[in-house]
Chains A and B, each alone.
Chain A
Amino acid sequence: MNDRFNLYRFASPATFYPLAGRMIPWFAAAAVLFGLAGLYLGMLVAPTDFQQGEGYRIIFIHVPTSWMSMFIYLVMAFWAAIGLAFNTRLSGMMAQALAPTGALMAFLSLWTGALWGKPMWGAWWVWDARLTSELILLFLYIGYMALVAAIDDPRRADKAGGVLLLVGVVNVPIIYFSVKWWNTLHQGSSVNLTKSSMAETMLWGMLLMALSFWMYSIAVALTRARTLMLERERHTDWVKAELAETQR
Chain B
Amino acid sequence: MFKIITSVIARDLKLAMRRQADIVSALFFFIIVVSLFPLGIGPEPDLLRKLAPGVLWVAALLATMLSLPRMFADDHRDGTLEQLALAPHPLGMVITGKVIAHWLVSGLPLAMIAPVLGIQFDLSSDALLVLTGAILLGTPALSGIGAIGAALTLGLRGGGVLLSLLVLPLYIPVLIFGAGAVDATVSGLGGEGHLSLLAAMTLAAIGFAPWASAAALKIALE
Contact = CB atoms under 8 A, between A and B. Distances in A.
Chain A bound to chain B: yes
Interface of A: 84, 136, 139-140, 142-143, 146-147, 150-151, 155-156, 159-160, 163-164, 166-168, 170-171, 174-175, 178-179, 181-182, 185
Interface string B152-171: 11001111001001101110
Interface stretch (B16-24, B111-119, B214-222): B214-222
Contact of B162 (A150, A167, A168): A150
Given A147-B162, A159-B219, A167 B212 contact: yes
Closest 9 CB pairs of A and B: A178-B173, A139-B169, A143-B166, A159-B219, A182-B176, A178-B176, A150-B156, A143-B165, A163-B216
B172 interface: yes
A113 B22 CA distance: 44
B177 A167 contact: no
Interface string B70-93: 000000000000000000000000
Q: How would you classify the secondary structure of chain B's contact residues: helix, strand, loop or mixed?
A: helix
A137 to B, nearest CB: 9
Given A146-B165, A156-B219, 12 more contacts: A150-B153, A150-B157, A150-B158, A151-B156, A174-B201, A175-B170, A175-B172, A178-B176, A179-B172, A182-B180, A185-B180, A185-B183
Contacts, number: 70
B169 A160 contact: no
15 contacts: A84-B215, A139-B168, A147-B153, A147-B162, A150-B153, A156-B219, A156-B222, A160-B152, A163-B212, A163-B219, A164-B148, A164-B166, A174-B173, A178-B173, A178-B177
